[in-house]
Structure 1
C-alpha cells in the first residue's frame, strides 16, 4: 500500500548531494554502498544535475532518478528526441511511499515541456513501468552456439566475398566505431545514439574501480572495397576438458554491429573459426537476428533467453506517428487513453508510403487503447490483433485492429543494441 509522505523532499541534486545520491543508488542496486572518490568524480563529469533527482528524508537521499537527452531511431530512419531514464532506485526502507511516482511525474512533465517525443528506459522489472504509460517496444534474444555442431568447414580462413577481417585495438575502435555505428543506428528502428563516453567506457579508457576492466578482443570486417562494415568485441575464457586433454573455450560477444548481412555473416563465421573455441555466446541480439540461419545447422544456435528490452513512453502522439514511415496505406481513428494527461486524446492517422499525417479529431474512434499499448505498436513489433485478443485494445469498428497491423507492423523487428 502506498503511503504518500510529502515531508520527503523530491528535488534535483546539487553538487554536494552527489556522494549521498551515489550511496543511495548503490544501495538500491544491491552494490556495496561505499562511495569511492573516483566514482564521485566520474558521475559528476556526466550527470545533468537539473535532470538528476533525489528523494531526501531528513537530509538523507533515499531514492534516485536520472534522465538525459537521447535520440531514438523510428521506423524509416528518422530520429526523435527522447528522454532517456536510468538509475532509478528506492531504498528498501522507503518503498511504497510514492517516491518513484513523484520523481517520474516530475521528469515526464519536464520532458513534455522540452518537446521530447518519447521517454525511454530499460526495465529491471516488468511490472513497474506500465502504470506510468511505458510499454515494451523492443525485445532481445541471446543464443549459445555449439560450434562443433554447426556444420561449418573447420578449414575456413577468411570471408569468401573478398572482404577481410583484422584484429584491432581500442584506439582503432574509437576511430572507426562511431561513424560505423551512426550508419547502423540510422537503419535500425529502436536503436539509440552513442556519445563519446560510450566509446571511452567500452574500450577501457574510462572505468570504475567497482567494475574491473577486462580488455576484449576487437575485430573489424572490411568489404572488398575496403569500407568498414562491421565490428565485434568479444572475450574468451580458459576452460579445458578433464586432464587438460582438450581446449573447450567459450567466446562471449560483448557487442557486434554491422551494416550489411555479408559483414554479419563473416564476423559470426570468424568467431566460430577461432582455434580452441567450442562455444560462442552471442550476447543480446535482435529477436529475429539472422544468426541461426548463417549456420548450416541452425539448431546449433540455441536461444538461451528472450526478454523485453527497450520500453517507450509516448509524450507526443502526433509527432511520434508522423515521424515514422508506413509500408501500407490507410486511415485509422485512435482513442488514446493516458491517465497522466500527457498525451491522451483522439487522433486520425492517415498513412501512405510517401508520408503520414496525424491530427486531433472529433470523429468516432475506431480503436481504443492505452498510451502504453500505443508504445508497443509504434516501432512495429507488436500486433494490435494480439493485444485485442488479450483485452488490451478495444475495437469500436470491426476489423480496426487488422487495419492497425497493416499500417504499423514492420517486416523486421525493432531492436535496441544498448543498455543505459
Structure 2
C-alpha cells in the first residue's frame, strides 16, 4: 500500500524535521533538540505542513507559507512559498511529491494566491508541476589588487558627502526591514521577509545544522543622514608566505536603495585592510559591480544559476498586477495539465494599466503555464522560447510583440533563499 500525504500534528513535527534532515543529507540520527523544535514550531503553520508516514516514520515532507512577491512596477501579489520538500530515498518514484504538490497548489488557488514560488534544489524536478525559472543569480569573486582600486584613496563614501558606519545585529534588526521595504518597492523578484527572517539573519535562534559566525555589518548614510544601504560580510584569516595577508571577505547580504549607496558599499568592502579577495554573494546577473572596478576583469563569475521559480495560479490577476511600458494586445493560450490556470486570455496592456480576461478569440501564442512563469517578471524573451520550441507562435511577429510586453530594462532578482 502506498501511504497518502496528510497534515502533520504537533506531536509528529519532530519526526517531520528529522525527515527533512535526512532528505537534505544533514542527519538521520534523530529529531533536532527540543529547543530547536520549539523555535521552529512557533514559526510554522502546521495547517500548511504535509508529511507521508510509513510504519510510523515520516518518509516525505512538504511545507508552504504565505509570501508577498514584488512584480514589475512595484506592486506585490500573494504567493504560496514552497519549501522543505523531501522524499526519503527508500520511497522515491511513488508519486509522493506529485500528490503533496497537487494538494498544496489546489489549496493555494482556493486561498486566492496568485502564484506559487520556490528555490529549486534540482533543476529538472519542478517544471512538470508548472513552475518555470523566473530569476537568475550570479556570484563574482574579485581580485582586489588587480581591480585598480586605489587603497590609498579617500574613504569611498566621503566622495558624495555620505558616510559608512559599522553597526551590530540589533541595528540591523531595526534598520533592515525598512531598507528591505524600499528595495522591494523597486526590484521585481524580491520576496517578503518577516521578523523571524531578521532574527535568524543576525544569529538569534539559528537552527543547529546551520553554523553561525557573526558577520561584520556596515550601513551607508547619505549626506542628509538617511540610511540607504546595508552590507554584511565575513572575513577569513589567511596569511601567505612571509606573513603577507591574503584574506577573503564574503558578502552574505547587501541592500542598496540608491546608486550612491551601491557604489559606496562595494568600494568599502573592497578597501578593507588585509582583504585581497571579495566574494560578492548571490547578486542579480546584471549587477553593476564589475563595472564599478577600474578593471572589470578583476571580477570573475564563479556562480551563474537559476534561482526563483514561479508557478502562475491565477492568470488574469497575475498579468493585471504587473506594469508594462508599451501598448499591445495579445491572446495567450495557456496550457496547464492540472487545470488550475488553463485557458485562453485576451491581454491588453499600456503604461496606464492592463486588462486580462478569458476570450474565445484565436490565440497569438500558445505556451505552458511553466513558460508563463518564466516570462512573468521580464527576465526571459518570448522570441528565445519560440526558438526553443517552448512557445508556439500562431501569428507572425507575435513573439516579438510579446517581447516588448514582458521584458524589463533591468533583470529581476530575488535576494533570498527559502
Q: TM-score, normalised by structure 1?
A: 0.97
- Quote the Cα distance in structure 2 between the aligned partners of 1:130 and 1:42: 33
- Quote the Cα distance in structure 2 between the aligned partners of 1:334 and 1:300: 44
Q: Show the counterpart of 1:42.
A: 39
Aligned CA-pair RMSD: 0.8
The counterpart of 1:17, out of the listed 12, 18, 25, is 12
Give the Å deviation of 1:210. Answer: 2.4
Give the Å deviation of 1:285. Answer: 0.2
Q: Report Cα offsets for 1:147-197 as digits up to 9, x if no partner.
A: 001111111332201000000000111111111110011111000010000
The counterpart of 1:51, out of the listed 48, 53, 56, is 48
Q: Show the counterpart of 2:182.
A: 183
- Quote the Cα distance in structure 1 between the aligned partners of 2:304 and 2:102: 30
Moved more, 210-219 or 89-98: 210-219
Give the Å deviation of 1:47. Answer: 1.1
User: Secondary structure at 1:377's aligned position in 2?
Assistant: helix
User: Secondary structure at 2:12's aligned position in 1?
Assistant: helix
Give the Å deviation of 1:58. Answer: 2.4
Number of equivalenced pairs:
414
Q: Show the counterpart of 2:192.
A: 193
Q: Show the counterpart of 2:376.
A: 378
Q: Show the counterpart of 1:85.
A: 82
Contact kept in structure 2, 1:8 and 1:58, CA below 8 Å: no
Q: TM-score, normalised by structure 2?
A: 0.98
User: Secondary structure at 1:89's aligned position in 2?
Assistant: strand
Q: Show the counterpart of 2:117.
A: 120
In structure 2, stretches of 5+ residues that fail to align are: none
- Quote the Cα distance in structure 1 between the aligned partners of 2:147 and 2:246: 15
Q: How does 1:145-160 map to 2 (within 5 A)?
A: 145-158=142-155, 159=157, 160=159
Q: Report Cα offsets for 1:61-94 as digits up to 9, x if no partner.
A: 1000000000000000000000000000000000
Give the Å deviation of 1:305. Answer: 1.1
- Quote the Cα distance in structure 2 between the aligned partners of 1:263 and 1:61: 48
Contact kept in structure 1, 2:5 and 2:99, CA below 8 Å: yes
Give the Å deviation of 1:261. Answer: 1.1
Q: Show the counterpart of 1:322.
A: 320
Q: How does 1:362-373 map to 2 (within 5 A)?
A: 362-373=360-371
Give the Å deviation of 1:37. Answer: 1.5
Q: Report Cα offsets for 1:120-155 as digits up to 9, x if no partner.
A: 000000000000000000000000000001111111
User: Secondary structure at 2:237's aligned position in 1?
Assistant: coil
- Quote the Cα distance in structure 1 between the aligned partners of 2:132 and 2:235: 36
Contact kept in structure 2, 1:238 and 1:249, CA below 8 Å: yes
Q: How does 1:21-420 map to 2 (within 5 A)?
A: 21-33=16-28, 34-35=30-31, 36-158=33-155, 159=157, 160-243=159-242, 245-420=243-418
User: Secondary structure at 1:288's aligned position in 2?
Assistant: coil
Give the Å deviation of 1:419. Answer: 0.4
- Quote the Cα distance in structure 1 between the aligned partners of 2:94 and 2:363: 37
User: Secondary structure at 2:11's aligned position in 1?
Assistant: helix
- Quote the Cα distance in structure 1 between the aligned partners of 2:284 and 2:54: 42
Contact kept in structure 1, 2:266 and 2:289, CA below 8 Å: yes
Q: Report Cα offsets for 1:225-282 as digits up to 9, x if no partner.
A: 1000000000000001124x20000000000011011101100000111000000000
Contact kept in structure 2, 1:156 and 1:273, CA below 8 Å: no
- Quote the Cα distance in structure 1 between the aligned partners of 2:378 and 2:228: 26
Contact kept in structure 1, 2:4 and 2:96, CA below 8 Å: no
User: Secondary structure at 2:410's aligned position in 1?
Assistant: coil
User: Secondary structure at 1:64's aligned position in 2?
Assistant: strand
Contact kept in structure 2, 1:38 and 1:209, CA below 8 Å: no
Q: Report Cα offsets for 1:307-353 as digits up to 9, x if no partner.
A: 00000000000000000000111100000000111001000100000
